Amino acid sequence: MFRTLCLLALAASAAAFAPSGVKRTRAGRRAMSMDFKSEIGAQPPLGFWDPFGYLDGASQERFDRLRAVETKHGRISMLAVLGHLVTTAGVRLPGAYDLAGDKFADVPTGFAAFSKFNAGAVAQIVLFIGNARA
């Protein structure tokens, strides 16, 4: 009896990874405005959520672009949080970050780190991030 229950529990958990029988259809690309209420991500209870009306009269290309940008910014935000957690935990790069011998271990966490660098270094970081974004 116990083995049967274990087998049934394993079968039930394996069913969670089985593909669903729902067939996806692709919407045709049109230059006119489209209805995005059936796109992936529109779920109850909110449904399709566009409070500022960014997609009013938008094409499929604009929707795809905004979705890609949202995904990219979400990933960058997750990396920023991970970086903050790692440095708050005390993990630092070894060695010095400039020729004067200032060490990474001496850099504080959070926004206080900006006080440790001169304006040229901060500008270099901002320009690098801006260039990588393009």
In a domain, 72, yes or no: yes
d(CA 111, CA 47): 37
Q: Are residues 105 and 127 in the same domain?
A: yes
In a domain, 8, yes or no: no
Per the structure, the count of domains in the chain is 2
The pLDDT value recorded for residue 132 is 80
Residues in the chain predicted with pLDDT less than 50, given as ranges, are 28-31
The pLDDT value recorded for residue 45 is 81
Q: Are residues 74 and 99 in the same domain?
A: no
In a domain, 4, yes or no: no
The pLDDT value recorded for residue 29 is 47
The size of the chain, in residues, is 134
- SS in 3 state form for 91-103? CCCCCECCCCCCE
CA-CA distances (angstroms) from residue 44 to 34, 36, 39, 40?
A: 20, 15, 13, 12
Structural domain harbouring 66: 52-91
Question: Which residue is it, tokens 């692709």?
Answer: 26
Burial label, 36 (beta-carbon count in 10 A; 0-12, 13-18, 19+):
middle
Burial label, 38 (beta-carbon count in 10 A; 0-12, 13-18, 19+):
exposed
